Structure 1
Amino acid sequence: MMKMMRVAVFVFLFLGVAAGAARAGWDPKDDEKAQQAVDYIKKNAPALDRFFVHAYGFAVFPDIYKGGLFLLGGAHGQGYVYELNTLVGESTVTQVNVGPQLGGQSFSEIIFFKSKADLDNFKKGNFELTAQATAILIKSGMATNTDYSNGVAVFALPKAGLMADLTVGGQKFSYRSR
């Protein structure tokens, strides 16, 4: 069992290094990818329209890939950051989970920031989601009465996969301006 845990930790560390490789400069195709991600969320979660209208900014992650085996799991994805509906940068999310789990899935995630101070905190790299502040799953056609919590509202839209877990973990975000 201990050997499998070591192998799993090694694999997740390797994937984290490979996924976190730096890119040189801003790719012009990122503007199109970012807009497609926003359009996908708007189309599949129309209940979030009020957040798009009133939020100071938001970070959208079109594809976060999550996997877990036995007691260790993780997730990673790349996204885009908007301020006053203008694309200003990109972000990555890395998640680590501990607890019983098995499977894999992909999902989209969007984080709305109520004020400039909330977005600025995110940009400084001072932003983490813990088990106590998890994303609310959105189902197609669902109306939501959710509001901001500590200046942020987080939503996840499942895309594909099957995963069973009962875990504790957190998400850490990075930010890079254009």
Structure 2
Amino acid sequence: MIKYVRSMLFIPILLVAAACSTSDNTMSGSASSTSAASSSENSKLDKDARAALQQLLSTNPKATEINDKAVAILVFPDILKAGLIVGAQGGNGVLLSRDGKTLGYYNATALSYGLQAGAQSFGESLFFMSDSALAYLYKSDGWSVGVGPSVVVMDAGTAKSMTTTTLKSDIYAFIFDQKGLMAGLGLQGQKITRLNR
């Protein structure tokens, strides 16, 4: 019961964090201290994203096959989701080039409605298979997944029927390292926005 109450108290916090995470940090204070904090946050996010991607590739052969053909990978190492009728999820991630260079930092948020209660966390990796799909991400002022490039979520069933010769979609998504009891994970309604840092 205590865990359930804590999860429900977490929902407003997550909603506020998701709303605030995409806004510019223009609060008063020292520019140098803000820059140092951002640099530290970026360094930690880079490390977490690379570790999460390595974990996915070491445990999922299909992800490794797709990774070898991708032009870039957007990795969200830790997305938090909580809900009670209205749900919210959010987390920050790193866009990595084929050779592992950091191309930018992004935020993913989503709201959902329906019968849901509880909280969970999970990792998410989006493999961009074409330069045009990557260009769409760059030019979007907040990309709503489902609009623009085609996205295929690689669940166990999809992965079995997929071969490297049938990779025709723009983006392949893997959801992994799920912790918590909520069900129905997906990318519906997710909005991905570049962070200015």
- Structure 1 residues 43, 64: closer, same or farther in 2, change over 3 A? same
Identity %: 26
Cross-structure match for 2:80: 65
* Stretch moving more, 24-33 or 125-134: 125-134
Q: Which runs of 5+ in 2 are unaligned?
A: 1-8, 26-33
Cross-structure match for 1:83: 97
CA shift digits 1:30-75 (9 cap, x unpaired): 44333212212112323211111001111011111111112x1011
> Normalising by the residue count of structure 2, what TM-score does the alignment of the two structures yield?
0.69
Cross-structure match for 1:129: 145
CA shift digits 1:122-157 (9 cap, x unpaired): 122352224995733459xx75617453x1111111
The residue type equivalent to 2:18 in the other structure is G
Rounded to whole Å, the distance in 1 between the matches of 2:78 and 2:187 is: 21
Q: CA RMSD in A?
A: 3.4
Rounded to whole Å, the distance in 2 between the matches of 1:81 and 1:133 is: 16
Question: For this pair of structures, how many residues does the alignment match?
Answer: 168
CA shift digits 1:81-110 (9 cap, x unpaired): 012232211111001111221222111111
- Structure 1 residues 8, 162: closer, same or farther in 2, change over 3 A? closer
Greater helix share, structure number: 2
Cross-structure match for 1:26: 39
> Normalising by the residue count of structure 1, what TM-score does the alignment of the two structures yield?
0.75
Q: Which runs of 5+ in 1 are unaligned?
A: 1-6
- Structure 1 residues 138, 104: closer, same or farther in 2, change over 3 A? farther
Cross-structure match for 1:3: none
Cross-structure match for 2:194: 175
State whether residues 21 and 107 of structure 2, in contact with CA within 8 Å, keep that contact through their aligned partners in structure 1.
no
State whether residues 51 and 112 of structure 1, in contact with CA within 8 Å, keep that contact through their aligned partners in structure 2.
yes
- Structure 1 residues 29, 163: closer, same or farther in 2, change over 3 A? closer
